[in-house]
Chains A and B, each alone.
Chain A
Amino acid sequence: MTMTTRAPGRHLPGAGTPEASAIEHARAEMLQEAKPRGRTRIGADVVCESLLRQGVDVIFGYPGGVLLPLYDVLGDYPQLRHVLVRHEQGAAHAADGYARVTGQVGVCLATSGPGATNLVTGIANAMLDSVPMVAITGNVAAALLGKDAFQEIDITGITLPMTKHNYLVRDANDLPHVFAEAFHIARTGRPGPVHIDITKDALQQETRAQHPDEETVLAAIPGFRPTYDGHPRQLRLAAKMIDEATRPVILAGHGILLAGASDQLRAFAERAQIPVAHTLLGVGAMDETHPLEYGYMGMHGWKHVNRAIQSADLLIALGMRFDDRVTGKVSTYATGARIIHVDIDPAEIGKNVSVDVPIVGDVGRVLTALTPLVAERRPADRAAYFEQLAAWRRESESRSWHGSGAWRDGLLSADYVVEQIGAAANYDATLVADVGQNQMWVARYGGFRRPDSHLSSGGLGTMGYALPAAMGAAVGRPDKETWAICGDGGFQMTMQQLGTLVQEHIPVKIAVLDNTKLGMIRQWQELIYAGNYHSAHLLGPDYLKLAEAYGIPAFRATTPDEVPTAIAAAQAVDGPALVHFRIADEQNVFPFMPAGKGLSDLIEEWGGADE
């Protein structure tokens, strides 16, 4: 820490004041390259210590000027793996993917200004999907805050509405407490991202501040006390309603997975003999081969599932939030059904639909308490209901699935490709979907049997999510094969991460479902905008050459019989691999509920031909 030689100049407002010299000092620090390596404990050390104390073993990050004090000490903590990404958005998505498959808090790191703003999309994505994350950014020295200094941006102002909480830390002595609190908030109650912005001088400031114990952390946030156990009276009301229902449907959402409550869900459904429908993010909450598993609901969900919901007399919503993609037009949604709504976030209850029995609590604990209260049933007790459901299911599956592998233009049928990937990995791989038609095909045809084996950007719908999130998922669960299943458009949004896969030896298998289109855009234009295909066509690179340029083995499939071969070839590679599937140009995802319509208004076919 050398003082600047320049005298406080006349250029500075308030020259000569302590404030002015602090600013001058901070500017000099910013310009100064190397820090004398004294190895006293500094703020950057506290960051690393805090991460280790929270059980973090990997951070996804990208350096920059204000983070150099941190990168200067990172090497002293070899237990902390740092994955150098190729764009900060990918760091946040990777932390997100890591968190979804491990249930641990994912951590990403970016520098001030553009690094921090690049992170924003990934933080928003985690917020809307309730993913536990701690995002760390550096900022300019405290004395320069608000001066439009180089690479200064009010990033906590930006992340305020898209985080559970955020902090701007200017004093290293605050770091131990802030980190402990941030991790607690990120993982407790309804999970979500917490952002910590740290000034450069705080990172390099000497400190002896001790790490707080749990009690101290809790005492400092009396305003944050989630409710875990359902109110007994509400549980009794719910049980009574469940016992009275003749056409009940369970709506299983992401909350089941976040709470690790798949076993409780199955036990409850089995005891009361209630079919389970799931949201996009609830895919995998129940083994799809289970007899009570009924399928994916909503805008692109199965018709039989939406039909069951529309004719239900009771909906039991578990850790889901009646998103507009799930309900369609609320006024026509399941008009004959009462609703029991279980969620750990009280604000979700009664937000989008009014509810008959609200239950605030951890969905696993609520189900554990509720299950013994409901009457035990045998499948035969619901014979007529189940027969109806089975008939609807047969009908809708026969329309949606052709199984030949080729679509009517002779190119690959996307549903077939996805089905083949799921099968080739024995339905045990982690499949990370991108956004668009590919996302719907993955959710519908991936064949999920294990919790957390399906990752999707649900709330934000972020194109470019799959590859970086798969990166994090593969790092988090190296024991599971991990596929990023992308459209050609989404892949081109974040394909720079191929470099990360190679450098960091992350064995993600990439499937590019190439329809040479922004397929979902094209579908809407065909169905709703009279075929005015403005900007739907998308030129792509030679995907094999692209992969090759990174040293990644790549394969191509254009006919149905090449599909299993190409998948097997990619699986045989020890490391990352890419498969380019040239899928049909104009295949649509059906059924399709146009925006503003209700669940009963599904479009099932177009131009007289099923898809």
Chain B
Amino acid sequence: MSDPVTSAAAPTGAPATPASAPSPARPAAAAPATNAERAIPGTGTAHRHVLVAVVNNRPGVLNRVANLFRARNFNIESLAVGHTERPDVSRMTITLRGDDVAVEQAAKQLYKLIDVLKVQDVTAEPRIEHELALIKVRATNSTRAEVLKVVELYKGRVVDVAADSVIVEATGTEDEIDALVALVGGFGIKEMVRTGSTVMVRGPQVVEYEGVAK
């Protein structure tokens, strides 16, 4: 019940999950309330969710996923993708905002894509969730030492030095990178790029999926 993706209904692609389980939306035992308004799914309090989607590494799959979110009116905050230990399988980390029902709906819609092998909402899991940022910070002779100090303090790394700027590389949680950005912002940011979060659940647990035949 705590995991919105596997409750309520088994997604198409999930042979391992139970076919259906009681919906958390309304307890089955409660008497129906006459005259009360019927709740509209997806209108609850929105908060940030992190989904892992395991997909076939084929041309066009990223397009299918991105298009689905657009067409279904789901708002993704970030989407990071790369291949896994298997070259024929990619893994996406998708962060989005919505209430539990809306995000569960997004996951179920994802499952309808033939190339999607597994979707898991890891919002409630203990996890490593990091992104990479490259930040080109203004750094003159008079400020460079100070910039370097801040970067060091935040476990960032200077990977390029030019006459009036440095490139800082940082990995960490969204919040950690936000904090670093705020600090070096005072010196002046000339350019920045962030990858969006990539996530892995802590401990021995892994995101299991049915493999593709080679």
Q: Would you call A352 and B114 a contact (CB within 8 A)?
A: no
* Stretch with Cβ within 8 A of A (4 or more), from B15-23, B127-135, B171-179, B183-191: B15-23
Q: Would you call B38 and A227 a contact (CB within 8 A)?
A: no
State how many angstroms separate the Cβ of A247 from the closest Cβ of chain B: 11
State how many angstroms separate the Cβ of B76 from the closest Cβ of chain A: 16
Using an 8 Å CB-CB cutoff, how does the interface string of A344-361 with B read, 1 for contact, 0 for none?
Answer: 011101111111111111
State how many angstroms separate the Cβ of B19 from the closest Cβ of chain A: 4
Closest A residue, CB atoms, query B16: A225
Bound form: Cα–Cα A220–B68 in Å: 22
Q: Does A219 contact B (CB under 8 A)?
A: yes
Residues on B with C-beta less than 8 A from A333 are: 38
Given A237-B28, A313-B32, A355-B23, CB of A350 within 8 Å of CB of B104: yes
Q: Would you call A334 and B38 a contact (CB within 8 A)?
A: yes
Q: Would you call A225 and B28 a contact (CB within 8 A)?
A: no
Bound form: Cα–Cα A257–B12 in Å: 21
Q: Would you call A234 and B114 a contact (CB within 8 A)?
A: no
State how many angstroms separate the Cβ of B118 from the closest Cβ of chain A: 8
Partner of B39, one of A156, A334, A336, A354: A354
Q: Does A35 contact B (CB under 8 A)?
A: no
Given A347-B109, A358-B8, CB of A223 within 8 Å of CB of B37: no
Residues on A with C-beta less than 8 A from B23 are: 350, 354-358
Bound form: Cα–Cα A130–B14 in Å: 21
| Residues A351-381 near B (CB distance < 8 A) | 351-361
Q: Would you call A346 and B9 a contact (CB within 8 A)?
A: yes
Q: Would you call A360 and B10 a contact (CB within 8 A)?
A: yes
Partner of A225, one of B12, B25, B32, B60: B12
Q: Would you call B35 and A233 a contact (CB within 8 A)?
A: no
Q: Would you call A335 and B20 a contact (CB within 8 A)?
A: no
* Stretch with Cβ within 8 A of A (4 or more), from B156-164, B197-205, B206-214: B206-214
Partner of B115, one of A223, A234, A313, A349: A223
Q: Would you call B71 and A161 a contact (CB within 8 A)?
A: yes
Q: Would you call A347 and B22 a contact (CB within 8 A)?
A: no
Question: Which bracket fits the contact residues of B?
Answer: 35 or more
Q: Does A221 contact B (CB under 8 A)?
A: yes
Bound form: Cα–Cα A313–B114 in Å: 38
Closest A residue, CB atoms, query B105: A351
Q: Does B98 contact A (CB under 8 A)?
A: no
Q: Does B1 contact A (CB under 8 A)?
A: no
Q: Would you call A234 and B63 a contact (CB within 8 A)?
A: no
Q: Does B36 contact A (CB under 8 A)?
A: yes
Residues on A with C-beta less than 8 A from B20 are: 227, 230-231, 233-234, 358-361
State how many angstroms separate the Cβ of B112 from the closest Cβ of chain A: 6
Bound form: Cα–Cα A350–B99 in Å: 13
Bound form: Cα–Cα A160–B28 in Å: 38
State how many angstroms separate the Cβ of B24 from the closest Cβ of chain A: 10
Q: Would you call A350 and B34 a contact (CB within 8 A)?
A: no
Residues on A with C-beta less than 8 A from B26 are: 338, 354, 356
Q: Would you call B12 and A346 a contact (CB within 8 A)?
A: yes
Partner of A161, one of B40, B67, B117, B209: B67
Most chain A C-beta atoms within 10 Å of own C-beta, residue among B21, B25, B38:
B38
Given A346-B111, A349-B8, A351-B105, CB of A231 within 8 Å of CB of B18: yes
Residues on A with C-beta less than 8 A from B67 are: 160-161
Q: Does B196 contact A (CB under 8 A)?
A: no
Q: Would you call B38 and A223 a contact (CB within 8 A)?
A: no
Given A161-B71, A331-B37, CB of A354 within 8 Å of CB of B101: yes
Residues on A with C-beta less than 8 A from B115 are: 223
Partner of B28, one of A231, A334, A357: A357
| Residues A330-344 near B (CB distance < 8 A) | 330-338
Closest B residue, CB atoms, query A331: B37
Residues of A within 8 A of B (CB): 156-157, 160-161, 164-165, 168, 185, 189, 216, 219-227, 229-231, 233-234, 237, 241, 313, 330-338, 345-347, 349-361
Could you name 12 residue pairs across A and B whose Cβ atoms are closer than 8 Å?
A: A161-B68, A222-B212, A223-B12, A224-B12, A227-B10, A234-B21, A336-B35, A347-B109, A350-B23, A354-B39, A354-B41, A355-B8
The 9 A-B residue pairs with the shortest CB-CB distance, nearest first, are: A222-B210, A346-B9, A347-B108, A219-B213, A336-B34, A231-B19, A354-B25, A231-B20, A223-B13
Residues of B within 8 A of A (CB): 8-15, 18-23, 25-26, 28, 32-41, 55-56, 60, 63-64, 67-68, 71, 101, 104-105, 108-109, 111-118, 209-213
Additional A-B contacts beyond A216-B213, A347-B108 (13; CB < 8 A): A160-B63, A225-B14, A234-B22, A241-B28, A335-B37, A336-B35, A337-B32, A346-B12, A350-B104, A352-B41, A354-B38, A356-B28, A358-B20
